[in-house]
A = this chain, B = another copy of it.
Amino acid sequence: MVKLAVLPGDGIGPEIIEQALCVLEVIKDKYDFTYTTQTGLLGGAAIDATGEPFPEETKELVLQSDAVLLGAVGGPKWDQLPGEKRPEKGLLGIRKALNLYANLRPVKCWPQLIQQSPLKNEKLAGVDLIVVRELIGGAYFGKRGQEAILGGIKAYDTIEYSTPEIARIAKVAFSLAGKRRKIVTSVDKANVLDTSRLWRKTVEEIAKDYPEINLNHLYVDNCAMQLCLNPAQFDIIVTENMFGDILSDQASVLGGSLGMLPSASIGEGPALYEPAHGSAPDIAGQDKANPLATILSVAMMLRISFNRGEAALAIEKAVSNVLDQGLRTGDIWSPGTQLVGTRAMGEAVRKEL
């Protein structure tokens, strides 16, 4: 029996997770997918209860699970805490503990929402890409510090990458591309950074094992331009942690709503699934949040962690049908469509299943 660890987190986290779990209940019956869930604390909720953003208990829970479903973490309530005690540290902690080295962020454009996109419609045809972000290396986890100098302080962070770290994320990118349009765009700043030169060299080395894949390289600044100018050119974008943070967020607005985008973070053990958006404290508890990204994250989980492609597809189809019916939460509403709340949106997806 599959063991799911569920971490609702902060802000809108609990209410979107609730809808995602209700959808999963329907899958259980219809697709004979049996599982148990156990809930844990992460982020601000964990700080309030235990003083730690990623408590030991939560660590044990996720290490013993088969997959983790996460809502969102953070909020202004915890923004004044020192670096080590902030909700974000919980996120970084769980990534490290589960060795989640690959973050997958699929971006596509739902035809029903094309008007919501900031891009001109003709730019959006054929947009279907995945940003593969290295998640536990680079400046996020390198040595850092501060020292007093004349006239103030000097701070530093270290971007660090090794051949094996780059090789394993490159393999994820190439094998994903093999199941898709067979294009990998590796993004770096090899004209300036040593880590980027090692990145490029290693990716080229790994590419030799995937002769059917078309590999190209872009500098990160150019990639930021291309994502606006011609996003349909991309299939798989693979890049280091910080560049991936920036580019995946930039890419996430192309489709028109961040509220529609799921994500998966994978390592060798249990994988973690969460919506791409944040905890939106301003609308928390008001039945206004869009649960679809979290519901689509459940679909990713079924496909990637449990090889249940059919059930995943059924969820994705149900979401598309609900959009066809014209139902919209506030973030994706436009004149002529019907505004619904978090619960009604979840309910509509369940009905379609």
Contacts and interface: CB of A to CB of B under 8 A. Distances in A.
Interface of A: 83, 86, 88, 92, 117-120, 123, 139-140, 142, 144-146, 149, 151-164, 167, 189, 191-195, 197-198, 202, 220-222, 224-225, 227-229, 242-243, 245-250, 252-254, 258
Given A153-B163, A156-B158, A225-B258, 14 more contacts: A83-B191, A88-B191, A118-B228, A144-B195, A146-B198, A151-B162, A153-B198, A154-B162, A157-B195, A221-B245, A221-B249, A224-B224, A224-B250, A225-B252
Contact of A221 (B167, B227, B246): B246
B145 A194 contact: yes
Contacts of A160: 154-156
Contacts of A161: 154-156
B194 A155 contact: yes
Contact of A139 (B119, B159, B221): B159
A228 B225 contact: no
Contacts of A229: 118, 253
Nearest to A82: B197
B156 A142 contact: yes
Nearest to A83: B197
A308 B298 CA distance: 61
Given A157-B158, A163-B151, A140 B192 contact: yes
Contact of A198 (B155, B198, B221): B155
Nearest to A121: B120
Nearest to A87: B191
Nearest to A199: B155
Nearest to A142: B156
Nearest to A150: B164
A248 B221 CA distance: 8
Contacts of A258: 225
Contacts of A248: 221
Contacts of A120: 117-120
23 contacts: A83-B194, A86-B191, A118-B123, A119-B228, A120-B120, A140-B192, A145-B194, A146-B198, A149-B162, A151-B163, A152-B162, A152-B164, A153-B162, A154-B161, A155-B161, A155-B162, A157-B159, A158-B158, A189-B242, A222-B249, A224-B224, A225-B249, A228-B250
